[in-house]
Amino acid sequence: MPSALLKGVRVLDLSRTVAAPSAAQMLGDFGAEVIKIERPGGGDEGRAIGPTFLKDRDGKTTGEGSMYLAANRNKRGITANLSTAGGREIVRRLVAVSDVLIENYKVGDMAKFDLGYDALRNVNPGLIYCSVTGYGQTGPYSSRPGYDPIFQAMGGWMSLNGRSDEHPLLAASNPVDTATGYHAALAILAALYHRDRHQGEGQFIDVALLDVAIAAYSHRALDYLLTAQQPARRGTRGQVYPCQDGSVLIALANKGQWIRFCEIIGREDIANDPRYDNHPGRLKNAGELYPQLEAETRKRTVADLSAALDQANIPFGPIYDFPHLFADPQVISRNIAVDIPHPLSGKMRMVANPIKFSSTPIEDYAPPPLLGEHQQEILAGLLGMSTDEILALHAEGAI
């Protein structure tokens, strides 16, 4: 079972792709009952985004893409067409018996359906309504759509990634989406706590990918705010050291670590050279220093250099591809890759929630729901709809 931390909390997830679904998934991992509401027919756009798709028991490719599978475990799924009266009524009836609603529609779209916060708090005054958008609810760009790469670009991330003589680099995954999902989940937990401490008062939460991208750059953003100078883009020189069979990232944070590193590679002669005595000095003289260091590390294997660094208590990490990552004994010991059941494939492997609780552990996971998989049990069971009512919704195209 998921953790029992949020047992009794019900969440409506009207979101798609990565950021907001990740927030709902986190709450589901913590034990909340999460109901994912998708449009009939296609559902969450993430289902169709590959390049990797789940294969069924016969090895045939399904319509369940990795983007969807990664952000939607521990949820039950229904469909509702918000452009129909019946679809909107399903949402209102669920809101009446829920604690949280998460959506990532463009600013104003939910209000057009009469499903914005002002309308739904009349249905449920204690509702925590979290809206995740690209630019937020206010400002000149609030109506623009946006995806993670846009906010890596606008949020300053790309300006610091890569070498100064190359184009800025884009991260291969979705770091802004992920950070936004975590921020949204944290905000919802705080709002639930506030509600429970203040006579059931709900509230609206505005989370923007651009805002999170800026905040997540932490001290690098502060470097600029304190100096009004753009931080330099240095690439990985001085951190990544090539070996015979790969590379190792080494973080030399103080003089003691620097001296021990020089001893490991047999260059005690430069350990106390005043030109390289501190990190700014090593950066200033990088052109002459690092080729000497790299010439020595190229003589070692990754395993050999890693063992020596470990013995010397120097922070390091081999640069892994995924086969090496998931074969690492530390990763295996942390149970970060888990097998869960799936109705199409029998089972599927996924990345577990990284948080470990002592009293309320997350012990297993429900698979991401198939499109509309739990329609009957939620409409008939939770909302008490009759067979005739459900047939009428089908006829209307509401589900």
Q: Tokens 């979101």 label which residue?
A: 15
Domain membership flag for residue 82? yes
Task: Indicate if 73 and 90 belong to the same structural domain.
Answer: yes
Look at the pTM and tell me if it is higher than 0.85: yes
pLDDT digits 0-9 by tens, 263-315? 999 999 999 899 998 888 888 898 999 999 999 999 999 999 999 999 999 99
What is the CATH number for 23?
3.40.50.10540
The more confident residue out of 278 and 149 is: 149
Q: Which domain holds residue 245?
A: 240-325
Task: Indicate if 43 and 67 belong to the same structural domain.
Answer: yes
Over 80: is that where the pLDDT of 1 sits?
no
CA distance 129 to 358: 30
Domain finish residue from 325, 351, 373: 325
Task: Indicate if 284 and 382 belong to the same structural domain.
Answer: no
Task: Indicate if 36 and 155 belong to the same structural domain.
Answer: yes
State how far the alpha carbon of 202 is from the alpha carbons of 11, 32, 166, in Å.
14, 17, 49
- Coil/strand/helix, residue 80: coil
Task: Indicate if 246 and 390 belong to the same structural domain.
Answer: no
Task: Indicate if 16 and 46 belong to the same structural domain.
Answer: yes
Mean pLDDT of 235-242: 87
Domain membership flag for residue 59? yes
* Amino acid, single-letter form, for residue 233: R
Task: Indicate if 154 and 92 belong to the same structural domain.
Answer: yes
Q: 128 has which bridge partners?
A: 100, 203
Percentage of the chain modeled with pLDDT above 90: 87
Provide the domain count of the chain.
2
Domain finish residue from 325, 345, 380: 325
Task: Indicate if 26 and 155 belong to the same structural domain.
Answer: yes
What is the CATH number for 303?
3.30.1540.10
CA distance 343 to 298: 49
Domain finish residue from 282, 304, 325: 325
Lowest-confidence segment of 130-144, 221-235, 330-344, 379-393 by average pLDDT: 221-235
Give the residue numbers marked as catalytic.
177
Mean pLDDT of 313-329: 96
Decide if 293 contacts 267 (C-beta within 8 A).
yes
Q: What is the structure's pLDDT at 163?
A: 83
Q: Which of 205, 186, 283, 297 is nearest to 249 (CA)?
A: 297
Domain membership flag for residue 226? no
Decide if 171 contacts 246 (C-beta within 8 A).
no
Task: Indicate if 299 and 251 belong to the same structural domain.
Answer: yes
Q: What is the structure's pLDDT at 236?
A: 82
Q: 79 has which bridge partners?
A: 38
Domain membership flag for residue 225? no
Decide if 71 contacts 46 (C-beta within 8 A).
yes
> Token pair for residue 350?
């996924």
